[in-house]
């Protein structure tokens, strides 16, 4: 039993009565802390639910087949998000294709290959720092380096590369954590059988770390899909009433990469565009785009949380 004499640790409580009083006071203060934590949690969750509720009430009715298959329009009632979600999808393809292999490779290098030394230390500080660089700075980097430096233009490829750089630290960190949690015995067993370092990585470490890597990749992509600022900075148009050329063509060689060089728009930019208009009808459209965007990011995050939950259960057993 805790007997407290708050503010007066030197002299113990003299009588049972004062000790009893002190304990009651301590319990009361404990209660205040516990309730405080729950209240903060409740405020945060109320805000989140209000936000989702408002989007759904205002926007859900607007999300129908036409909304998903129409191009943006000057008339709010006829406007849709076709070019926006196709653009988001294509940009995400490029981002995933670039960020996941490079991020996993960098994570493996830092965790398994790098000798503890100056260089490894510098890279580590650097990754931590990159994770804290504001996303709009990545946009400026892309504007100066990709758009004007390499003359790549304001294309799907540039947006994909920019977002890939942005989410790289997330994937690196989650890969390192996943690799670190693999029992050493797996590695040592493989080395003992004569595998070289790459064979160990490819056949044992990467498969064992896959759920952790996957979680990081999904969280990274869900962040990239909602990211607006860097895409605005590279100068993506907001009014795009056409689709990029399709990746599959009727003629030989049947696969085309023309879409990489096409101008584009993405969901969050379309939403931003509608929010900043004065008419209430466009605000309804913005809410509808927000519903679609929230469904995408929340379900991606839900999947990531579920994978992590299963992983933890597997570890416990």
Partner 1 sequence: MSSNAIPTASELQKNGFVARRQLILKVTTLFLFLSAALSIFVTTAIVVILVRDSWAFFTEIPLVDFLFGTMWTPVFANPQFGVLPLLAATLQTAGLAMIIAVPFGLVMAIYLSEYAKPALRETIKPALEMLEAVPTVVYGYFALLVMTPFLQAFIPGLKGINLLVPGIILGIMILPYVVSVSEDAMRAVPNGLREGGYALGMAKWQVAIRVVIPGAFSGITAAFILGMSRAVGETMVLAIAAGQNPNLTWDPREGAATITAYIVQMSLGDVAHGSLAYTTIFAVGLLLFLITLTFNVIGFYLRRKFREAY
In the complex, least distance from residue 252 CB atom to partner 1, rounded to whole angstroms: 32
Interface of this chain with partner 1, residues 164 to 223, rule: CB under 8 A: 165, 168-169, 172, 196-199, 201, 222-223
Question: Residue length, the chain?
Answer: 317
Interface of this chain with partner 1, residues 18 to 47, rule: CB under 8 A: 23, 26-27, 29-30, 32-34, 36-38, 40-41, 43-45, 47
| Closer by beta carbon to partner 1, 154 or else 259 | 154
Q: Which stretch binds partner 1 (CB under 8 A): 68-76, 107-115, 185-193, 245-253?
A: 107-115
From candidates 294, 303, 307, 311, binder to partner 1 by CB under 8 A: 294
| Tokens linked to 147 | 């758009």
| Closer by beta carbon to partner 1, 208 or else 229 | 229
From candidates 233, 240, 259, 262, binder to partner 1 by CB under 8 A: 233
248: β partners: 255
Size of the site for partner 1 (CB under 8 A): 100
Site string for partner 1, 63-102 (x = CB under 8 A): --------------------------------------xx
| Closer by beta carbon to partner 1, 256 or else 276 | 276
Query: Is residue 275 within the footprint of partner 1 (CB under 8 A)?
Result: yes
In the complex, least distance from residue 247 CB atom to partner 1, rounded to whole angstroms: 26
In the complex, least distance from residue 313 CB atom to partner 1, rounded to whole angstroms: 11
Query: Is residue 290 within the footprint of partner 1 (CB under 8 A)?
Result: yes
Query: Is residue 257 within the footprint of partner 1 (CB under 8 A)?
Result: no
Query: Is residue 295 within the footprint of partner 1 (CB under 8 A)?
Result: no
In the complex, least distance from residue 275 CB atom to partner 1, rounded to whole angstroms: 5
Query: Is residue 55 within the footprint of partner 1 (CB under 8 A)?
Result: yes
Q: Which stretch binds partner 1 (CB under 8 A): 85-93, 127-135, 179-187, 247-255?
A: 127-135
Nearest partner of 268 among 139, 182, 77, judged by Cα: 139
DSSP codes of every residue in the chain: -----TT-TTS---SHHHHHHHHHHHHHHHHHHHHHHHHHHHHHHHHHHHHHHHHHHHHGGG-SHHHHHSPP-SSGGG---HHHHHHHHHHHHHHHHHHHHHHHHHHHIIIII--SSHHHHHHHHHHHHHHTS-HHHHHHHHIIIIIIIS---S-HHHHHHHHHHHHHHHHHHHHHHHHHTS-HHHHHHHHHTT--HHHHIIIIIHHHHHHHHHHHHHHHHHHHHH--HHHHHTT--S---SPPPPSB-SSTT-B--GGGGS----HHHHHHHHHTSS-HHHHHHHHHHHHHHHHHHHHHHHHHHHHHHHHHHHHH-
| Closer by beta carbon to partner 1, 34 or else 61 | 34
Asked if 175 and 208 touch (Cβ cutoff 8 Å), the reply is no
């Amino acid at each position: 039993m805790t007997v407290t004499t708050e503010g007066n640790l030197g002299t113990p409580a003299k009588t049972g009565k004062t000790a009893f009083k002190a304990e009651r006071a301590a319990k009361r203060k404990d209660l205040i802390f516990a309730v405080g934590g729950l209240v903060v949690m409740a405020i945060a969750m109320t805000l989140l639910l209000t936000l989702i509720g408002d989007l759904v009430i205002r926007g859900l009715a607007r999300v129908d087949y036409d909304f998903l298959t129409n191009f943006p329009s000057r008339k709010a009632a006829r406007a849709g998000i076709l070019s926006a979600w196709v653009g988001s999808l294509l940009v995400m393809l490029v981002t995933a294709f670039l960020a996941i292999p490079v991020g996993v490779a960098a994570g493996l290098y830092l965790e398994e290959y790098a000798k503890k030394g100056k260089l490894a230390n510098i890279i580590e500080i650097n990754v931590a720092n990159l994770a804290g660089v504001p996303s709009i700075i990545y946009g400026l980097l892309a504007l100066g380096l990709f758009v004007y430096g390499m003359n790549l233009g304001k294309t799907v490829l540039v947006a994909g590369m920019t977002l890939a750089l942005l989410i790289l630290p997330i994937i690196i960190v989650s890969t390192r954590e996943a690799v670190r949690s693999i029992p050493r015995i797996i590695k040592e067993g493989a080395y003992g059988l004569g595998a070289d370092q790459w064979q160990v990585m490819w056949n044992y470490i990467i498969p064992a770390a896959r759920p952790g890597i996957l979680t990081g990749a999904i969280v990274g992509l869900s962040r990239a899909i909602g990211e607006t600022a860097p895409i605005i900075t590279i100068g993506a148009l907001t009014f795009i009433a056409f689709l990029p050329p399709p990746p599959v063509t009727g003629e030989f060689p049947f696969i085309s990469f023309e879409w990489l060089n096409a101008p584009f728009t993405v969901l969050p930019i379309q939403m931003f565009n509608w929010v900043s208009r004065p008419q209430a009808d466009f605000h309804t459209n913005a809410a509808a785009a927000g519903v679609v965007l929230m469904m995408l990011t929340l379900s991606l995050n839900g999947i990531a949380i579920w994978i992590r939950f299963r992983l933890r259960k597997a570890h416990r057993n």
